A and B are shown apart, each in its own frame.
Chain A
Amino acid sequence: MLAFIIRRLISTVLVMGLVGVFIFLLLHLSPGDPAAIIAGDNATPAQIAAIRNSLGLDDPLHLQFARWAVRVLNGDLGISIFSNVPVATLIGQRLWPTVSLAFTTIVLAVTLALAAGVLAAWKAGSLIDRLVMILSVVGFSLPVFVVGYLLIYVFAISLRWLPVQGYSPMSDGFWAWASHLILPSLALGLAYVALIARITRTAMLDVLAEDYMRTARAKGVATGPMLLKHALKNAGVPIVTVIGIGVALLIGGVVITETVFNLPGIGRLVVDAISKRDYPIIQGVILLFSGVYVIINLMVDLSYTLLDPRIRY
């Protein structure tokens, strides 16, 4: 077990190292001059020369990479071209809306998806089952921004039940915070729900066909505990795997959702950086989001033994 954890940690570090190499090479092998890109569109030749000098862009590539990697490991993600503020500071300022959105989306989506998947498997072949399956195909095909605008149009503009856009920190009241996050979480979570519900249904169907499920039913275990404790827990491994893989879907969607709902989070930071061609910000956020993805999948791998004690490494 310990050997597995160590092996898994080493491969995680390796993957993050490769992510760093890719992001570094993307900038340095792109057709433009990296110094000119980092300096921004309005820089004078003297400024570009200064940046070229301070980054040591005339040194061999591997030396540059080593220096850059050391800076990144010390939490220095570079300085924003447009606002001249360190990228790490900018990300820190934008952290809470994104964390709130991610948290509510994952809670909402996983709850909905597990309920739908369990129900569909339990009533396999019924109307509910077919409805869940159709929704899971359709939900996977609907673009986040189209769903987002549809939700805004129906629930915020027409019915006036919820605010149209924006973010309200939790310090201004729980309901204000939650009401601003309901629609974004639904829009962002739809594809995630579709993915998890589908796998939950499949995994549950496999488990429900097992002999011990028939035994449980024969013993007279009540339906609720039977579905949740006997079946769902044993169907956990593939479900948790998909929850981890699906985080990639969420990360891409966060960027779009924050734009649609005008949430001042990290996703908006990137989108604003696109039009200003502020590459250090884009680079910093990619590193951060890739890191989150890698760490979540590490946790998923480690959780297998908790879910299924038969798995030993």
Chain B
Amino acid sequence: MTAITARIASQPVRSGLWHFVRRNPTLVGGAVVLLLVVLAALAAPLIAGDPIAARPVNRLKPPSAANWLGTDQLGRDVWARTIYGARVSLMVGLSVAAIAMAIGLVIGLCAGFSRMVETVVMRLLDGLMAIPAILLAIAFVSLSKASVGVVIAAIVLPEIPRVVRLVRAVVLSVREQPFVEAAVASGTRVPKILRRHILPATLPPLIVQATYVCASAILIEAALSFLGAGTPPEIPTWGNMIASSRVYLGLAPWTIFGPGLALALVVLAVNLVGDGLRDRLDPRLARRM
């Protein structure tokens, strides 16, 4: 009897975690990879050497015990540069997601609650959405001095319409719910209704959308850097590394595929976290996909 109760008592914790992992393989898998990359980026000085130091004698060396991912055309350590590159990618991805969500949420809430704002804003966003994101970002960057801040702003701009549309759609559906009607009828003021009743409903789909915006921002930053319209070339980013080493593809493929693999892995992990969150938070959408 005591043995059985003991077993039941000890079970929930272990099987609970295991159960969660089994039920959400994509969420957990993506989150674990992402966590490892974040830790590596934070601990960069501890686990990687100098990403800038050039040693021309040592140029284009294949992967070895000293240089895990080999060296590039200036003899710089590809592993160190890849680890430091994660810092820029993660920072851009997170900043763009946070800023685009904040701006999109405010505009979307206003558009969902005012007919006049809605007509004007939705038309404007249709125009903005017709401009391909990378080209809009290129134009934005080419008119300013290249810096990480400008790159973030350039990527936020084309991401905003998607967020606004999502928020507006949620507001439009929640606004017809009886509890909102009751709040309106009892004389609650609009700002309070938005804060107390509408905002909570927008959060789950917004969090899912934030992960997709983050993945797309990381990809666009890398593409902009690769095209020479992004982060200044002296900062090691995955896009910059691939751009500067691309003529050595045949001689030293590790200079391309080191950062390339890191980029693909991080974007995949973020997308998997997004898919996993979507399945948990937004079952209606999950069934449709």
Contact = CB atoms under 8 A, between A and B. Distances in A.
Interface of A: 11, 14-19, 21-23, 26-27, 30-32, 37, 137-138, 140-146, 149-150, 152-153, 157, 198, 202, 248, 251-252, 255-256, 259-260, 270-271, 273-275, 277, 279, 282-283, 285-286, 289-290, 293-294
Contacts of B268: 137-138, 141-142
Given A144-B223, A282-B139, A153 B253 contact: yes
20 contacts: A11-B126, A18-B127, A22-B131, A141-B215, A143-B223, A144-B223, A145-B226, A146-B264, A149-B246, A150-B260, A152-B249, A153-B250, A157-B250, A202-B289, A251-B132, A256-B227, A270-B138, A279-B143, A282-B135, A290-B132
B130 A26 contact: no
Contacts of B256: 146, 149, 153
Interface of B: 123-124, 126-128, 130-136, 138-144, 215, 219, 222-223, 226-229, 242, 246, 249-250, 253, 256-257, 260-261, 263-264, 267-268, 271-272, 275, 288-289
Q: Across chains A and B, which 3 residue pairs bring their CB atoms closest together, nearest first?
A: A18-B127, A146-B260, A252-B134
Contacts of A142: 264, 267-268
B242 A270 contact: no
Contacts of A11: 126
A144 B56 CA distance: 30
Nearest to B265: A141
Interface of A is mostly: helix
B289 A293 contact: no
Contacts of B123: 14, 18
Given A143-B223, A153-B257, 7 more contacts: A137-B271, A143-B219, A145-B222, A149-B260, A252-B134, A252-B223, A274-B227
Nearest to A146: B260
B223 A290 contact: no
A32 B141 CA distance: 12
Interface of B is mostly: helix
Given A30-B144, A149-B256, A153-B249, A19 B263 contact: no
Nearest to A238: B288
A206 to B, nearest CB: 10
A14 B257 CA distance: 44
A26 B140 CA distance: 7
A141 B264 contact: yes
B78 to A, nearest CB: 14
A274 B223 contact: no
Given A32-B143, A256-B223, A22 B128 contact: yes
A43 B103 CA distance: 38
Contacts of A146: 242, 256-257, 260-261, 263-264
Contact of A19 (B131, B141, B288): B131
